[in-house]
Amino acid sequence: MRKKILGNRLSHKVFLMLVLVGVLPIIILGFLALYSLNVSHRIDVAYIEQKLINQKIEEIEKFFDEIVSTLELQVGFEQTSEIAIESQHFLLKQFLNEHAAFEEVAFVSLTGRESSKWSRIYGGRVSDEELIDLSHLERFRKALGGDRYVGSTYRTLKGPMISISMPVRNKNGIIISVISAEINLSELQSIVKRSTLGSEGYVYMVDGDGFLLAHSQEENLEIKDMNDWGFVRSLVGGRRYLGVENLQRYESPWGETVLSLGDYLPLLKVGIITEWPIDDADRIVNTVRNQIAIVGFLVLLFTGLVSAILTNRIVRPIKTLEVGTERIARGQFDQPVSITTNDEIEDLGDAFNKMMQGLKRLEELKEEFVFIAAHELRTPVTAIKGYISMVLDGDAGEVNPEVQKFLSEVRKASDRLNQLVNDLLQIARSEAGRLKIEVQSIDIAEAVQSALSELKPLALEKSIKLVYNPVTTPPVLADSDRLKEVLINLVGNAIKYTMRSGDVIISHEVKDKGLITHIKDHGIGISVEAQKKLFEKFYRVQTEETRNITGTGLGLFIVKQIVEKMNGKIWVVSEESQGSTFSFSLPLTTNIKAS
């Protein structure tokens, strides 16, 4: 079975279709807008972070260049031995004064032993006894070989430090001594301190071992090992994270989700990292996103409303036609449908109304035909009945038994024909509005008695007892002739459809401002299925038992029409092979409730 998405109503389908047609492009466009907004925003974030990193690298390089250029000493061509000791002390003192980053500076003679040393911790010149031998250290050997040596970062109470040593040459390029310095890297902290990234983003540096060197938002830096972060680890391993394609998103060491870039500076062996908390970085874009969402929602709402209105416009005329069709099915041809859509559906409405008129005419013709035919048939049928009765009664002389037998059959058939003609005439009258009902206050018991006395011979024939205890009943509003017709029909059926002898009981009950009359039999009963169609025109129950019972299937239809025209109701309660009780109500003349 097909699954119902929104039910099977046309209105639901049209609504769904309109909503889809209206909403799908909006949803797709909305997603595209959000996607491109996201992409371009990520590019912006990466650009800003990278710019900051480049700027910090420039500052660090400047700092390093200053240190190195200070230490680059050149002495005269002739000078082939060490600088005179006084000059050494003079120069070292100068260095300390010139740059705050110099913690300790020393000249080392070509043998590897320090020849002079100045230190900030000592507050100036270091005594000769404390000069040490560096000959076995790489920092000395590298410089002696003519290269610049930059050591790894190490920690002191005064902050992170590195060692630098360089050769001292004369103008001919001959190395005459080595200069060695301990550089305080606290300056890096002041370089990152001046950095901003949105309102919550920050920048920090790590040394070659992955330890925190400087942080733009942290004042007192404890020694912090950052190697737990794979990002930092691979950065100090030399990998660079630049450009939007390398923008990282992770939980930062400081506990926020960040968008991050990083670069490694081999010169000083430091990594520099920017981390921008995503909430802060996306603040502006979030506002735009919310605005898109609100506009999207409003558009959806609008589309829904417009779809509902359009659906109504499309479906309403169809609904009108449906109601018109139902009216035709009920036999009402007087109310044409009104559709003013100014299109093909309006044409359809006009065609529908024409069809309704045609059907009305057909119905009228049919009624007229049935009425005329039944009316014209009545006279000859009555004549046949009368003459046969006369012949059978011997008015035309002696009739031999054989002929009498045949004539009895002819009389039975003419009785049935007479009944059919009467029923048809009754219906034709009723449908043409010619069924005259004149209600007045009557005593129902009289109508019952009269009907029963007419049916008595029939009941006697089948040994059926008609039981009626006339009690005093309040008067009802009814047409006494029609009421008698109803009673003759119902009691007649009760007798007709009782095969073996059994009582037919007629009783009354006052209920809900009306008088109910029950006709109860112990006959063949009626199935639940048949009960539903019982009061329809020409309906007859087709069973083994009813096969030989003659009838037209019009009696109950007529009875119902009459009862309803007298403002009453009729119903049946029945069980197969147990019997049936037909009941009908009639309004009381005075609505006095019986106690």
Q: How far is the CB of 378 from ligand ADP (least distance, A)?
A: 18
Question: In terms of CB distance, is 276 or 535 closer to ligand ADP?
Answer: 535
Binder among 253, 474, 551, 568 for ligand ADP (CB under 6 A) = 551
Q: How far is the CB of 558 from ligand ADP (least distance, A)?
A: 8
Name the DSSP class of 255: S
- Tokens read off for 197: 């990234």
**Would you mind telling me the total number of residues written for the chain in this entry?**
595
Residues 6+ apart with CB under 8 A from 536: 557
Name the DSSP class of 245: G
- CB-closest chain residue to ligand ADP: 551
Q: How far is the CB of 489 from ligand ADP (least distance, A)?
A: 6
Query: Binding of ligand ADP at residue 421 (CB under 6 A)?
Result: no
Distances (CA, A) of 585 to 25, 474, 496: 64, 13, 23
8 Å CB contact between 458 and 492: yes
In the stretch 52-71, what mask flags binding to ligand ADP with x, by CB under 6 A? --------------------
Distances (CA, A) of 368 to 65, 170, 429, 567: 121, 140, 9, 27
Q: Of residues 521-550, which lie at the interface with ligand ADP (CB under 6 A)?
A: 521, 523-524, 526, 534, 539-541, 546
Question: In terms of CB distance, is 161 or 554 closer to ligand ADP?
Answer: 554
Listed residue (568, 588, 592) closest to 443, CA to CA:
588
Put the strands of the sheet holding 270-277 in their side by side order: 212-215, 202-207, 270-277, 257-265, 248-251
Q: How far is the CB of 331 from ligand ADP (least distance, A)?
A: 19
Question: In terms of CB distance, is 342 or 542 closer to ligand ADP?
Answer: 542
Phi, psi of 545 (to 5 degrees): -75, -35
In the stretch 504-523, what mask flags binding to ligand ADP with x, by CB under 6 A? -----------------x-x
Query: Binding of ligand ADP at residue 11 (CB under 6 A)?
Result: no
- Tokens read off for 367: 């009624």
The stretch near ligand ADP (CB under 6 A) out of 172-180, 287-295, 555-563, 586-594 is: 555-563
Binder among 556, 562, 586, 588 for ligand ADP (CB under 6 A) = 556
Q: What angle do CA 498, 502, 508 make, to 5 degrees?
A: 95
Q: How far is the CB of 497 from ligand ADP (least distance, A)?
A: 3
Query: Binding of ligand ADP at residue 30 (CB under 6 A)?
Result: no
Q: How far is the CB of 575 from ligand ADP (least distance, A)?
A: 11
Query: Binding of ligand ADP at residue 553 (CB under 6 A)?
Result: yes
Rg of the chain in Å (alpha carbons): 58
Question: In terms of CB distance, is 101 or 524 closer to ligand ADP?
Answer: 524
The stretch near ligand ADP (CB under 6 A) out of 117-125, 409-417, 444-452, 552-560 is: 552-560
Instruction: Look at residue 396 and give its three-state secondary structure.
Output: coil
Q: How far is the CB of 545 from ligand ADP (least distance, A)?
A: 9
Query: Binding of ligand ADP at residue 178 (CB under 6 A)?
Result: no
8 Å CB contact between 311 and 15: yes
In the stretch 564-593, what mask flags binding to ligand ADP with x, by CB under 6 A? ----------------x-------------
Query: Binding of ligand ADP at residue 198 (CB under 6 A)?
Result: no
Q: How far is the CB of 426 from ligand ADP (least distance, A)?
A: 12
Question: In terms of CB distance, is 156 or 578 closer to ligand ADP?
Answer: 578
Say how many residues touch ligand ADP, by CB under 6 A: 20
Burial 235-247 (b: 16+ CB within 10 A, else e): bbeeeebeebeeb
The stretch near ligand ADP (CB under 6 A) out of 53-61, 122-130, 156-164, 553-561 is: 553-561
Q: What angle do CA 401, 403, 404 make, to 5 degrees?
A: 60
Distances (CA, A) of 91 to 62, 96, 175: 22, 9, 17
Question: In terms of CB distance, is 177 or 580 closer to ligand ADP?
Answer: 580
Query: Binding of ligand ADP at residue 497 (CB under 6 A)?
Result: yes
Phi, psi of 578 (to 5 degrees): -110, -25
Query: Binding of ligand ADP at residue 451 (CB under 6 A)?
Result: no
Query: Binding of ligand ADP at residue 464 (CB under 6 A)?
Result: no
Q: How far is the CB of 354 from ligand ADP (least distance, A)?
A: 36
Type of residue at 528:
V
466-468/504-511 β-pairing: parallel
SS3 letters across 92-147: HHHHHHHCCCEEEEEEECCCCEEEEEEECCCCEECCHHHCCECCCCHHHHHHHCCC
Q: How far is the CB of 404 from ligand ADP (least distance, A)?
A: 28
Question: In terms of CB distance, is 88 or 574 closer to ligand ADP?
Answer: 574
Site of interaction with ligand ADP (CB under 6 A): 493-494, 497, 521, 523-524, 526, 534, 539-541, 546, 551-557, 580
